[in-house]
Amino acid sequence: MIAAAPGGSADVPAEFLRALRELHLVDADEPVTGQALAGGVSSDIWRLDTCRGALCVKRALPRLRVAADWRAPVERNLYEARWMQVAREAVPGAAPRVLGQHAALGVLVMDYLPPEAHALWKDQLRRGIAQVPTAQAVGTTLGRIHAHAAKRRDTLAAQFDTDRIFYDIRLEPYLMATAARHADLAPALHALVRQTQEHKLGLVHGDVSPKNILVPAHAQAARFLGRPEPEGMSPVLLDAECAWWGDPAFDLAFCLNHLLLKCLWVPPARSGLLACFDALAAAYRPCVDWEPPQTLEARAARLLPGLLLARVDGKSPVEYLVEPWQHDLVRRVARQLLRQPEQQLAAVRAAFAGALEAAAEALAPPAPDAATGSEAPG
Ligand SMILES: Nc1ncnc2c1ncn2[C@@H]1O[C@H](COP(=O)(O)OP(=O)(O)O)[C@@H](O)[C@H]1O
Ligand SMILES: [Mg+2]
């Protein structure tokens, strides 16, 4: 969840103060305090306390805090602000309210969503709480945002003309970098890059990952009590720095990829995570009205193994898979699917689930010998 950076309350960065003043969100002499939020990989992100209440202020970094040298233009902060505005038009509450964006300083100011009222989906999954209604709500929200944007292509395509940024921070570090390590699969991975670039059908978020999704506590409580969810209580999507006019199948595959990988991270939640995979895909599908849903699904099903492999062998491997057998399992399934692509998401999920089951059997302690009560050899 949200926490102060080591050192807690510290000097507020000067750019943040300047941005707040120039956006007329604070007065010139107003005291502003605050603290850095945890989890900022590509940005400095702070909670700032002002006379108008707590604000969340974010500034894109030119170099990401990952092991590989990974640079990205700071104007992505502007596209993030734009994405949030479109998402909120589509689904009220699907993104934080944007209070201002200072283009010259690359600073975005938005509502601060307090941790008492929101859980980070990744934190829930880490604790084994994999709830189907949450996955359904994520699928519906994402689908509604995509459908809303697809109808506004005439204005939005030009506002998210970010081909270069998306290539630099998504297609290159994930798929091209992976192709460089799997030379035999390079043609398949390069074809996925082309597939993604050539289907300019909608507004892509680009980082739909449980670490960027807040689940409102009220909605969760309502679901738990079997009550209708309150209006405006959709999951909140954060971190839209990769926003791009491109292939919406990327977002669907990207999010489903995380649900598969987390089966290896939180083994007791495996069946819940696989149920979330199905629920998210099923909730998304009826929203697809800009093209035949099965066509989009086929692109997502082909892309998903490329993203799986990328999170092990690309420039941004997931931090929670550390055992060599986990990497081998992901490689085995992904490589097989890249060689023989599936057209349905359920088939990709089934291949992954099958490999998990086989690994669980192989890793299980030997069964006691029925006749002697002693452990079987080997
Ligand atoms: N508007 C917000 N209100 C409260 N917390 C937020 C808000 N936006 C982001 N956060 C918290 O800060 C973390 C990092 O923010 P994010 O936008 O994802 O930055 P980064 O691009 O560095 O990952 C999020 O995971 C979330 O915990
Ligand atoms: Mg993030």
Token pair in block for residue 69? 């040298």
Over residues 277-295, the mean pLDDT reads 98
* Residue 201 and residue 173 share a domain: yes
Out of 112, 146, 171, pick the residue that ends a domain: 112
For residue 294, what are the CA distances in angstroms to 19, 21, 139, 277, 357?
45, 49, 16, 17, 28
pLDDT value, residue 369: 63
* Residue 223 and residue 87 share a domain: no
Token pair in block for residue 246? 């491109």
* Residue 281 and residue 142 share a domain: yes
pLDDT value, residue 231: 59
79: domain CATH number is 3.30.200.20
What are 221-264's pLDDT values in tens digits? Answer: 666 677 666 655 799 999 999 999 999 999 999 999 999 999 99
pLDDT value, residue 2: 36
Where is pLDDT greater, at 63 or 230?
63
Q: Whose CA is nearest to atom 15 of ligand 1?
A: 40
110 lines ligand 1 (CB under 6 A): yes
- The lowest-confidence range among 39-53, 109-123, 205-219 is 39-53
- Model confidence at 61: pLDDT above 80: yes
Mean pLDDT of the chain: 91
Cα(293) to ligand 1 centroid in Å equals 31
Rg (CA), the chain: 22
Q: Among 45, 109, 120, which is best to mutate for testing ligand 1, by the most ligand atoms less than 8 A from CB?
A: 45
pLDDT band, very low/low/confident/very high, at 68 (cuts 50, 70, 90)? low
Look up the domain containing 168 and give its range: 116-362
Out of 65, 82, 112, pick the residue that ends a domain: 112
42 lines ligand 1 (CB under 6 A): yes
Is this prediction's pTM over 0.85?
yes
pLDDT value, residue 217: 86
Over residues 100-111, the mean pLDDT reads 95
* Residue 245 and residue 201 share a domain: yes
* Residue 189 and residue 97 share a domain: no
* Residue 90 and residue 159 share a domain: no
* Residue 188 and residue 99 share a domain: no
Cα(197) to ligand 1 centroid in Å equals 28
Number of domains observed in the structure of the chain: 2
Over residues 168-178, the mean pLDDT reads 95
Where is pLDDT greater, at 2 or 114?
114
What are 307-349's pLDDT values in tens digits? Answer: 999 999 999 899 999 999 999 999 999 999 999 999 999 999 9
Report long-range pairs for 150-159 (Cβ below 8 Å, ≥24 apart).
150/201, 150/202, 150/203, 150/248, 150/289, 150/290, 151/290, 152/86, 153/202, 156/86, 156/203, 156/245, 157/200, 157/245, 158/245, 159/82, 159/245
pLDDT band, very low/low/confident/very high, at 218 (cuts 50, 70, 90)? confident
Q: Whose CA is nearest to atom 27 of ligand 1?
A: 2
